[in-house]
Structure 1
Amino acid sequence: MTSQDLMIKNAHVVGPETFNGDIRIQNGRITAIGTDLPVAAGTPVYDAAGRTVLPGLVDVHVHFRDPGQTAKETIATGSKAAAHGGFTTVVAMPNVTPVPDNAADLAALLAKNKQAGVVHVHQWAPITDALRSDRLVDFEQFKKMGVLGFSNDGVGVQHAATMMAAMAGVHAAGAPLAAHIEDESLRGNGVMNAGPVADKLGLPGMSNQTESSQLARDLDLAAATGVHYHACHISTRQSVDLIRQAKAAGVHVTAEVTPHHLLLEDTDITGDDPNFKMNPPLRSHADRQAVVQGLLDGTLDMVATDHAPHTLADKGGTMRTAAFGIVGLETAFALLYTRFVRSDRMSLPELVARMSTIPAAAFNLPAGHIQIGAPADLTIMDLDTPYQIDSNTWFSKGVNSPFIGETVYGRTQATIVAGRLVYDQQKEGH
């Protein structure tokens, strides 16, 4: 990915500091911020026309399905979807085919991320061979190769001894461990949240303890090993309480929550609709209120989409047979800006912190601030014009989302990565 020079004029900048003015970009970095900055001859100019410029959004949990499942997504389509949603940095999960559990496959994937991605695509490596085994990968070698950290997302580590050994090894390698938290013996054949709605629809349910019991195990092991433990897609009130207690006790834990768990609950499922099937499932009203409060008070550090594209065939049929997961990169910011910022639940700088500054800081990624010397990874948003979520405008191959048709605010006008305009609404037309 080459960098270039660019001048952004007439911007309203929230990054996290707020000001109005211009941003000069040279060799992919911000070199000046001010008003009425002079433009060097030959430098391209982007007139923001008073629109809002944010630090590029950061998503530490995406599925790009490449290699092996490219009918669902590719690094190229997934990263273009990220740019369309305002993201400049993403971290891809390793549940692809083949799982990159050896140096050759991992090296090929890291190279493809760099070659095919229009945004910065970082990589989680697996914790164990083939994800479902108890054989640990070479943490030291993989970290030196450039992975962000380690995760068996999609299935989770079922055996406590394996998880404790993994945490010790990942900590020794100086990396974080991101956990898909799910006790499969408790999940059974559940396809949605256990409770009255599942009973009414005649569908098998997953209890809150499917998540929270394994989280309690992991937090105890994280305290013992000292690893940076990252809890993926938290969905229950018990889990929020456990993370709050662990943080108070000094455990090195960070946690993410998805837009869909912040905005939807099981009562929104009125029929057998696979677009509402995700793992963890949409929980109760009390659970949703708990994760919202957890995000607002900082117990849950950040938003991550868990972007999970599927083919129409895989997402078709019924809740019992369809694949778990929904897409999220192209809707996340607009949904949260509309529901939280415009309703005064959260300020725009707070949303920027949870979608950019905080995840970048948590994982030592060079992102999250608009300041002199910082990488020129920026997003320009129109926050004032309503529009309807339309999957026909998406770059992702996946169209599996329950949010299609909603009216929102917060349309990406441009996304800039290392000074390059990688998405421009004026040119793309959507």
Structure 2
Amino acid sequence: MKILMKNCMLADGVNDYCGLFDVLIQHGRITRIDKDIIALEAERSIDLRGNAVVPGFIDMHCHLREPGYEYKETVESGSRAAARGGYTTICCMPNTKPVIDNINAFKVLRDIIDKSSKIEVIPIGALTLGQKGHELCDLQAMTDEGISLFSDDGCPVMNNSIMLQGLRQSLKKKFLIIDHCEDIDLAGDGVINEGEACTRLGLKGIPALAEELQVMRDVMLSQHTGAGIHIAHISTEGSLNIIRKAKQNGIKVSCEVTPHHLSLSEEDILAHDTSFKVNPPLRRFQDVLALREGLKDGTIDVIATDHAPHSTSDKPGDFNKAANGISGIELAFSVCYTYLVKTGILSLNELISKMSYKPSELLSLEKGRIAEGGIADLTAIDLDAEFIADREKLISKGKNMPYHGKKLWGETLLTISKGRIVYEKEGY
């Protein structure tokens, strides 16, 4: 489809676009960027009226639940939710049923993606069999099949020898390990952060040390092997400082932070509202401030959603029984724009870079910027639109969203994936 987008305020965190531009799309690529393009043969001409057009967002960390947990989410519903949130590429974790720990399971998931996904979905393979942390998967066979990311997310790899072997193999086969850093013995049966909130609510806490020890372990293993490693969803000031020092010393470590760890703290947790229950838990406001600064100074590489949809039965009002996770991919940009750009912590270009260009770099994709000849993955956003977050209006099957009733800014108008319109706001 030949699409002409007119009067676009372009922002990609890479190029310095000034003023309004027209963007012509054909055969899935951006064929021209200029002022006042006339394309009478365009099948669709869309006047953006000065609204922002950015590279489609790229999520390095989400959960689509299929196969096995389709009552929580499916590739189809999750990819539609992602498109509504402005995402055109997402990487899905392997904690499905069965776990994506072998070629056959991967092929089943790939077939589902080919048939059902509205956008590009990149499957992440499990690092260990069954995500049990005892034995590495056949990483060579899985990389030969096309998998380039491995993680046991949700099930920390506690065995140092196993992680060491995995990192050594990653050097040979050129894949990236994404690690969920948590000492399960220290975390125990804690359900929220060990701090003010657990005392106020009478719940068991998870100490920051449970995360920080494993972050330090991974940094040391990375330094020892020379292999790169990506740390998932960091949540504490201590983790940030460890990674900052590691980077200063030239160690190949990268990391991500979630919108909820940038916007919410343990102080926001409401009794019996288990949409606030997530792993790692919401930490102190001091940690939130530190993470924002780490994002600003480049210590934190990317923003990833850790989209974790659950059914209402998985999220009863009892924190001790409720599953961990926040359904957040539809509101990720709005949350970040509201809490980071509207408050002056980041510029729009800096935010876009963390959500598009930087993850594209880490994943070695030909995406994340707006340029002639580039893949037409684009998102149009009304930055001035303010709205009240409503969990019942989410496309995702998971309604476990802690921003319900909060005012947010920045609403997706249009999402284009490889030249195809995959989301358009009703009535736009």
- In the superposition, the TM-score normalised over structure 2's length comes to 0.97
Q: Larger deviation: 145-154 or 182-191?
A: 145-154
C-alpha deviations, 1:374-415, integer Å up to 9, x for none?
100000001112111112321100000110111111100000
Q: Larger deviation: 183-192 or 144-153?
A: 144-153
Distance in 2 between residues matched to 1:135 and 1:72, nearest whole Å: 28
C-alpha deviations, 1:175-227, integer Å up to 9, x for none?
11000110101110000001232122110000001100011111100111222
Q: Does the CA contact (< 8 Å) of 1:177 and 1:227 recur in 2?
A: no
Distance in 2 between residues matched to 1:79 and 1:306, nearest whole Å: 14
Distance in 2 between residues matched to 1:22 and 1:42, nearest whole Å: 13
* Partner residue in 2 for 1:82: 82
Query: Paired residues, what number?
Result: 425
Report the CA distance between 1:148 and its aligned residue. Answer: 3.1
State the Cα RMSD in Å.
Answer: 1.2
Distance in 2 between residues matched to 1:298 and 1:260, nearest whole Å: 19
* Partner residue in 2 for 1:187: 187
Identity rate of aligned residues, in percent?
A: 39
* Partner residue in 2 for 1:9: 6
Q: Does the CA contact (< 8 Å) of 2:133 and 2:158 recur in 1?
A: no
* Partner residue in 2 for 1:211: 211
C-alpha deviations, 1:133-180, integer Å up to 9, x for none?
421112222122222310000111011111111111122110110001
* Partner residue in 1 for 2:334: 334
Distance in 1 between residues matched to 2:226 and 2:114, nearest whole Å: 31
* Partner residue in 2 for 1:228: 228
Report the CA distance between 1:270 and its aligned residue. Answer: 3.8
Report the CA distance between 1:272 and its aligned residue. Answer: 3.2
Distance in 2 between residues matched to 1:107 and 1:135, nearest whole Å: 21
Q: Larger deviation: 106-115 or 319-328?
A: 106-115
* Partner residue in 2 for 1:304: 304
* Partner residue in 1 for 2:130: 130
Report the CA distance between 1:42 and its aligned residue. Answer: 4.8
* Partner residue in 2 for 1:377: 377
Equivalent position amino acid for 1:90 in 2: I
1:158 corresponds to 2:158: yes
Equivalent position amino acid for 1:8 in 2: M
Distance in 2 between residues matched to 1:133 and 1:53, nearest whole Å: 43
Moved runs in structure 1, 4+ residues, more than 6 A?
Answer: none
Counting only pairs closer than 5 Å after superposition, residues 264-343 of structure 1 correspond to structure 2 as 264-343=264-343
Partner of 2:197: helix, strand, or coil? Answer: helix
Partner of 2:131: helix, strand, or coil? Answer: coil
Q: Does the CA contact (< 8 Å) of 1:175 and 1:228 recur in 2?
A: no
1:113 corresponds to 2:116: no
Partner of 1:422: helix, strand, or coil? Answer: strand
Distance in 1 between residues matched to 2:42 and 2:294, nearest whole Å: 48
C-alpha deviations, 1:59-110, integer Å up to 9, x for none?
1000000000000000000000000000111000000000011111111112
Q: Does the CA contact (< 8 Å) of 1:56 and 1:356 recur in 2?
A: yes
Partner of 1:386: helix, strand, or coil? Answer: strand
Structure 1's unaligned 5+ residue stretches are: none
Q: Does the CA contact (< 8 Å) of 1:15 and 1:368 recur in 2?
A: yes
Q: Does the CA contact (< 8 Å) of 2:53 and 2:379 recur in 1?
A: yes
Distance in 2 between residues matched to 1:401 and 1:391, nearest whole Å: 6
Partner of 1:10: helix, strand, or coil? Answer: strand
Distance in 2 between residues matched to 1:233 and 1:73, nearest whole Å: 21
